[in-house]
Amino acid sequence: MEKLTKHLENLINELGDSDEIYSRLENLISVYPFNEYEYMISTLLGRGKLSLDDYYVLRDDYIERNLYLYIFEISAPRGFGEKWAQGHLKGLVPELERPSKKKDSSYSGQYDFWLDRKITIEVKASRAVDFELEAPLYVKALGSDSTRPFDMNFQQVKPGCCDVFVWVAVWRDKIRYWVLASKEVEGNRYYSKGQHRGNVGEGQLHLRHDNIDEFKQYEVQGRDLLNAIRNAYERQHVQT
């Protein structure tokens, strides 16, 4: 949003009555879908400062930079973590099965997906937001090229309940994936046990701007998730 705002303001500054336009903006009453951006763009179009072709380019660039911004508008944790993230992963890897007691007699809700009738998978998802900004998620949402600090906390992590973890992280313009064997999560130096008092076998892990590069070996592209899950399962059960 800041790139769009700066670009529009630069164009307005080139107009002779920019002070008047900014004065109107300060007192503007916004009612959907009429807001400050609609006012700036329509003013620039009307003054001939922004052509229709320029507007299309501006629009396409903004959409490309904010392709996944809508995901930050999902307010309910379950709506994001369960409904969106699990549905997104299932779309990428159709081979994943929803578990049930009928398929796995030991199943009691402890993992999210089943693969090859043997691999148990837990999905954890988070969103990259400005750690130092107090604002709604969609305002704090970061682009993948941002240098602002972020802290994605993967919570209620239970290594003893699955073979493989799939982490899904969302930026305004990008979605990234990491696939780890359960023991690789449990043995990671950033894994903190005892997230909640009395919850044995449960912890959390913070993926931050200053440690994310340490997980490069586990990061995969969406098209490679199926093989990565199977490889992580093999690592989980290799004898050491």
The answer on 34 and 129 residing in a single domain is: no
In whole angstroms, what is the distance from residue 26 CA to residue 8 CA?
15
pLDDT value at residue 116: 96
The token pair that represents 175 in the structure block: 């979605």
The answer on 147 and 48 residing in a single domain is: no
CATH number at residue 146: 3.40.1350
**pLDDT bucket at 168, cuts 50 / 70 / 90:** very high
Among 44, 65, 86, identify where a domain stops. Answer: 65
What is the domain extent for residue 134? 76-237
pTM value is 0.84
| 124-147 per-position pLDDT tens digit | 999 999 999 998 888 899 999 999
Q: How many domains does the chain have?
A: 2
- Asked, for residue 70, whether it belongs to a domain, the answer is no
The answer on 198 and 145 residing in a single domain is: yes
The answer on 225 and 137 residing in a single domain is: yes
pLDDT value at residue 33: 83
Q: Does the pLDDT value for residue 179 go beyond 80? A: yes
The token pair that represents 195 in the structure block: 């997230």
The label of the residue with tokens 């911004």 reads 69
Q: Does the pLDDT value for residue 12 go beyond 90? A: yes
The answer on 193 and 110 residing in a single domain is: yes
| 55-108 per-position pLDDT tens digit | 999 999 999 999 999 999 998 878 898 899 999 999 999 999 999 998 888 899
pLDDT value at residue 81: 86
How does strand 151-157 pair with strand 113-115?
Answer: unpaired
The answer on 142 and 80 residing in a single domain is: yes
Examine residue 33 and say whether the peptide bond preceding it is cis (omega within 30 degrees of 0).
yes
Q: Does the pLDDT value for residue 238 go beyond 90? A: no
**pLDDT bucket at 23, cuts 50 / 70 / 90:** very high
| 182-208 per-position pLDDT tens digit | 999 999 999 988 655 555 678 999 999
The answer on 213 and 150 residing in a single domain is: yes
pLDDT value at residue 201: 74
Among 36, 65, 94, identify where a domain stops. Answer: 65
